[in-house]
Amino acid sequence: MKEQTDFPLPPNLPRPVDDGAAAQLPGKEMPSVSLPSTRGRLVNLATLPAPRTVIYVYPMTGVPGQPLPAGWDEIPGARGCTPQTCSFRDSYREFGGSDIEIFGLSTQTTDYQREMANRLDLPFEVLSDWKYEFCDALRLPTFDVNGTRLLKRLTLLVRDRRVEHVFYPVFPPNENAAEVLQWLRNNPG
User: 73-87 pLDDT, tens per residue?
Assistant: 898 999 889 999 999
User: 139: phi > 0 → left, psi -120 to 50 → alpha, else beta; which?
Assistant: left
Q: What is the pLDDT of residues 133-144, one digit of tens each?
A: 999 999 999 999
Average pLDDT over residues 95-118: 91
Instruction: Say what the pTM is.
Output: 0.93
Q: Enter the CATH code of domain 19-64+72-186.
A: 3.40.30.10
Report pLDDT digits (tens) over 60-75: 988 788 888 888 889 8
**Residue 173 amino acid letter:** P
Q: Cβ(157)–Cβ(185) under 8 Å?
A: no
In the chain, where are the structural domains located? 19-64+72-186
Which DSSP category does 18 fall into? -
Residue 154 · residue 22 · CB < 8 Å: yes
